[in-house]
Structure 1
Amino acid sequence: MNNVVSRVNEMLVSHDLLFSEKPILIGGMAMEYYEMRQSGGDIDLIITDTDYQALAQKYPDQRKDLYGDLGVVIDEFEIWRSIAHLDYDFFKKDAIEDENIFIISIDRLLWTRVCVMGVEKYRKDLDLIKEYYYKKYTNQKYHQEALLHEKSYEKMNGAVYGGEYDDL
């Protein structure tokens, strides 16, 4: 089992946090899950509105409202019913299912970073996600072909017309 998943599961058990639907891991821990960077100290989760309502009733003084996104902060957990008003069902799409949690899909993780890209930390995360895509999905044959003409691209601002390469 991925170390991130086991850490989250251990923390859920130690805090006796139970949900009617599996929570979705988002944020820095998801970044660590995808091996893009180490996470910070918090654990961000998305839960259903039903689970949020129960948690908010149990911990009324620990509720948090971030521009209409409602959550509950319990020690290192930030547990949200939405991000940018996008709910559990949005973030569950293509999520990776584990025994006790879902891990947000890489595409939805990208969306969470786009929503807050005005913050430097999240702009850096966008660069890390871009590198992840390039590393994982780049067609290596096309990449090798492009490397043959790197000097031409530099001289011609990236665009070569009519096969007129200037690779000298």
Structure 2
Amino acid sequence: MNQVIDKIESSLKDNGLLFNKKPIVIGGMAMEYYGMRKSGADIDLIISSEDYLALAEKYPDQRKDIYGDLGMVIGEFEIWRSIALLDYNFFLKDAIDEGNLLMVSLDRLLLMRVCAMEVEKYKKDLITMKEYYYEHFRNQDFLHEAEKHSASYDKSGGTIFGGKYID
């Protein structure tokens, strides 16, 4: 099993946190899961509205509200009903089933960072994610072909018409 998943499951158990629907891992732990960067100390989760209401009743003094995004801070967890008012059902799309947890999809993780790109930390995450996408998903044959013409692109501002390369 993945070390990130092991850590989160262990922390959930240590904090006695149970959910009716599988929580979705987001944030830095998701970035670490995908191998983009190490996570910080906190563990961010998205949970269903029903699970949030149950937690809010159990831990009323742990509630947090950021511009309508309702969450809870319990131990090392930040547990959210929504991020940018995008809810559990939104983040559920293409999430990876990891047993007791779901891992947010790459595409939804990217969108989270786009929604918060005004914050310098998340802007840096966007750059990291761009590099990750390029490293893992770019067509390498196309990249090698383009690299042959880098001098022409530099001289022409990036666009070549009619196949007239000047390298």
Aligned counterparts, 1:62-77, within 5 A? 62-77=62-77
Aligned-residue CA RMSD in angstroms? 0.6
* Mapped partners of 2:136, 2:52: distance in 1: 35
Q: TM-score, normalised by structure 1?
A: 0.98
* Mapped partners of 1:49, 1:58: distance in 2: 14
Instruction: Confirm whether residue 48 of structure 1 aligns to residue 48 of structure 2.
Output: yes
Deviations 1:140-165 (A, max 9, x none): 11111101001111111111111111
* Mapped partners of 2:132, 2:90: distance in 1: 22
Number of residue pairs matched?
167
SS in 2 for 1:152: helix
* Mapped partners of 2:143, 2:36: distance in 1: 22
Q: TM-score, normalised by structure 2?
A: 0.99
Deviations 1:38-76 (A, max 9, x none): 000100000000000000011100100000000000121
* Mapped partners of 2:48, 2:163: distance in 1: 55
1:58 matched residue in structure 2? 58
* Mapped partners of 1:94, 1:141: distance in 2: 28
2:98 matched residue in structure 1? 98
2:122 matched residue in structure 1? 122
Percentage of identical aligned residues: 61
* Mapped partners of 1:110, 1:140: distance in 2: 22
* Mapped partners of 1:102, 1:122: distance in 2: 22
2:149 matched residue in structure 1? 149
* Mapped partners of 2:154, 2:6: distance in 1: 46
SS in 1 for 2:64: strand
1:108 matched residue in structure 2? 108
* Mapped partners of 1:36, 1:158: distance in 2: 29
SS in 2 for 1:111: helix
Aligned counterparts, 1:4-15, within 5 A? 4-15=4-15
Q: Counterpart amino acid of 1:81? A: R
Deviations 1:114-146 (A, max 9, x none): 111000100010011111111111111111110
* Mapped partners of 1:129, 1:104: distance in 2: 14
Deviations 1:8-45 (A, max 9, x none): 01000111100000000000000000100000010000
* Mapped partners of 1:13, 1:4: distance in 2: 14
* Mapped partners of 1:53, 1:17: distance in 2: 14
* Mapped partners of 1:55, 1:149: distance in 2: 58
* Mapped partners of 2:153, 2:5: distance in 1: 43
Identify unmatched segments of 5+ residues in structure 1: none
